[in-house]
Amino acid sequence: MEKRTQAIFFLTCCLVMAAGVIYADLKKGYYSPAELGSVQQTAPIELMPDSNYQVSAYPVGALELAVGDGRQDVQIYCNTCHSPRYITMQPPLPAATWEAEVNKMNKAFGAGIPEENTKKIILYLQAHYSTENRKQ
Amino acid sequence: MDGPDRNAYEPIAPRGHESAIHPAFGVFVPMRDPGSLIKTRLTPLIDLANSSEVGACPMNATERFLLRRDLLKILGKASGGIAVSRWLGPEVALAQEPTRGKAIEPFTGPGANPHWNSVGPYVAEPQKAPLLLLTDRPVQLETPRHYFRTAFTPNEAFYVRWHLEGIPNAVDLKSWKLQIEGNVNKPLALSLSELMQKFKPVSLAAANQCSGNSRSRLQPRVPGAQWGNGAMGNAMWTGVRLRELLDKAGAKSGSLQVQFQGLETGQGPEGLGSNLFLKSLDLGNPVLDECIVAYLMNGEPLPILNGFPVRLVVPGYFATYWTKCLTWIRVLNTPDENFWMKTAYRVPDTPRGNTTPEDVKAGTLRTVPIERFPVRSFVISPDGSSKIPAGMNVALRGIAFSGFGRVNRVEISDDDGKTWMPAKLGEDHGAYSFRTWELSWIAKSPGRYSMAVRATDEKNNTQPDEPVWNPGGYLWNRIERQEIVVGNAN
């Protein structure tokens, strides 16, 4: 009986030690696949000793708008003055706030979006970027 | 003036994305292939798994990866892992599952942004180090936290905030002239060379902070650029006194305000805020005597995104008045009622600019143009990304500043404000500059500590511990906190 207990104890120790060795191996040399270099280095632009001081074009990102009815209206009208990141950057906003924002573009900023498209844009933003709907 | 070459934007084309010129506007509209996101994410893993460079192990990388994770889970559940590893020797001690660094969530809310900075990706813009992207057109970039370890913010890391998409890509100094016009006796048009040669250069260290800095802290959240704390910077500005230029042109009697206009233009109709960004200050405002038309920033020409060739410096005032690519200084004999003065950048006329959504709805709120920034301070290091071993004497470091004058006291609390320890202040670079502070601190025992920091300026303004709310998301200056995790040292 005592021998059996000893054997079980010994075996348990061996198992634990083996597990421990594998476990110890984990804290070193752990690499994980990842997308490196997502911010590329830009090549310097050629400078001339004249009076013109210029920089290269400002980078704009890919369109990240949610797919849905009204997306094209946002692309056409909102994109005139600003990129869609102005939308995706916002926190989830109440439906009334989105309506007020679009109305501000028309009234204060003279965006001149036709009434029908204005409605579609408001509904689109409320459907995808409001407190009730935006989860990710 | 000849129109500078404005408004050139180039799409960043990530793999799997195609771009196209938008037919209606000639604006670049990148198109997304719906499957591309999945493809992009999976490709590296599959590549690695099939690669012969994974090692001698006959399993592919994915399997190895899974096996390790499973073992860890089993060990974790048995919860004897760490106890056993103790007597296996120091090599084994403290092994933990190495977690893959995940990308930050692309937005926060409806709660407050819990991060020090905003949550956008890094982007490399012309003349800039990689900064945190808020928006790409017009450009808004935030300075990452670690750049605030020093009193002066490097030009290439200085935050960027434009209102209209027509940002100059080039300025031709042969045709560019700074014009002082309007209700003046003698209108002036000065080249950069004349500004540098004909006027005595003056230098001043001054912090520049966006009115909406820390907007993502507000509850409930408000629309606008969702800045973390990095819409600020400090620089040594060198240039010409605005007062000298105004005196030379001579404001006629009956003049009320002086208006500032830069090269920035928008697509909106003339006369609206979407067409021009205009800001004005009262001619009787004593801040005009402190203003500089700066052509040097930290002893270097300004990056275009920060306002090359000259920028207005309004010490102590929020950055909305610091017109970039300043080209027109216009003396007015009627009050400026353009959108950016009459509607935008206004704060409730209440203590701290504080109000409630209910009062805004009631529509009885009196507002005034935003002006000076209130006193603020930050913990910059430690930033919470590493644990600190108990008993270690670590340096806490940060910055403080105020638009109302010199910061002369910074205090730290590690017991949620019950007791405050004075920090050692760094060099005094002037009343409007960032001032660094430092405090050596020993964590007695392992645990989580919340370090609070508060500053007091020479006018005896101290940071309060109550939040601020107003619909513009301005004037946030609540006491900041940094959680520090202290681990066992043995």
Rounded-to-integer distance, Cα B57 and Cα B457, Å: 63
SS3 B304: helix
- Look at residue A112 and tell me if it is in a domain: yes
Q: Which whole number is the average pLDDT over B298-307? A: 98
Q: Which are the contacts of B166, defined by CB distance < 8 A and separation ≥ 6? A: B6, B7, B264, B265, B266, B267
Q: How many residues does chain A have?
A: 136
Encode A74-92: b = buried (16+ Cβ within 10 Å), e = exposed: bbbbbbbbbbbbbbbbbbb
Which residue has tokens 């990304």? B385
Residue A5 forms contact with B (CB below 8 Å) = no
CB distance B310 to B179 below 8 Å? no
- Look at residue A70 and tell me if it is in a domain: no
Dihedral sign of CA atoms B236, B241, B242, B243 in order: positive
| Assembly ipTM | 0.84
Q: Which are the contacts of B23, defined by CB distance < 8 A and separation ≥ 6? A: none
Q: How many domains are contained in chain A?
A: 1
What phi, psi does A102 have (nearest 5°)? -65, -40
Q: Which tens digits make up the pLDDT trace of B415-449? A: 989 999 999 999 999 999 999 999 999 988 999 99
- Look at residue A81 and tell me if it is in a domain: no
What does the pLDDT read at residue B72? 44
Residue B179 has pLDDT above 70, yes or no: yes
Amino acid at B8: A
What does the pLDDT read at residue B12? 64
CB distance B190 to B175 below 8 Å? no
- Look at residue A123 and tell me if it is in a domain: yes
Rounded-to-integer distance, Cα B450 and Cα B485, Å: 9
CB distance B134 to B118 below 8 Å? yes
Q: Which of B29, B120, B171 sits opposite A75 (nearest CB)?
A: B29
What does the pLDDT read at residue A52? 97
Q: Which whole number is the average pLDDT over B335-360? A: 98
CB distance B421 to B450 below 8 Å? no
Q: Which tens digits make up the pLDDT trace of B194-244? A: 999 999 999 999 999 999 999 999 999 999 999 999 999 999 999 999 999
Residue B365 has pLDDT above 80, yes or no: yes
Residue B88 forms contact with A (CB below 8 Å) = yes
- Look at residue A24 and tell me if it is in a domain: no
Q: Which are the contacts of A1, defined by CB distance < 8 A and separation ≥ 6? A: none
β-strands B435-442, B447-457 pairing: unpaired
DSSP at B111 = S
- Look at residue A115 and tell me if it is in a domain: yes
Domain membership of residue A113 as a residue range: 94-136
Rounded-to-integer distance, Cα B65 and Cα B46, Å: 13
Rounded-to-integer distance, Cα B68 and Cα A16, Å: 16
Residue A30 forms contact with B (CB below 8 Å) = yes
Q: Which of B91, B164, B267 sits opposite A24 (nearest CB)?
A: B91
CB contacts, 8 Å: B9 with chain A: 57-60
Q: Which of A35, A51, A136 sits opposite B173 (nearest CB)?
A: A51
Would the pTM count as exceeding 0.90? no
Domains with residue ranges and CATH for chain B: 36-88 (no CATH), 122-344 (3.90.420.10), 376-487 (2.60.40.650)
Residue B96 has pLDDT above 90, yes or no: no
DSSP at B190 = E
What does the pLDDT read at residue B98? 67
- Look at residue A6 and tell me if it is in a domain: no
- Look at residue A12 and tell me if it is in a domain: no
Which residue has tokens 């950057």? A89
Q: Which whole number is the average pLDDT over B118-132? A: 97
Least confident stretch, B20-34, B136-150, B241-255, B283-297: B20-34
β-strands B9-11, B480-487 pairing: unpaired
Question: Does the distance separating the beta carbons of B8 and A58 come in below 8 Å?
Answer: yes
What does the pLDDT read at residue B421? 98
**Mean pLDDT for chain B?**
86
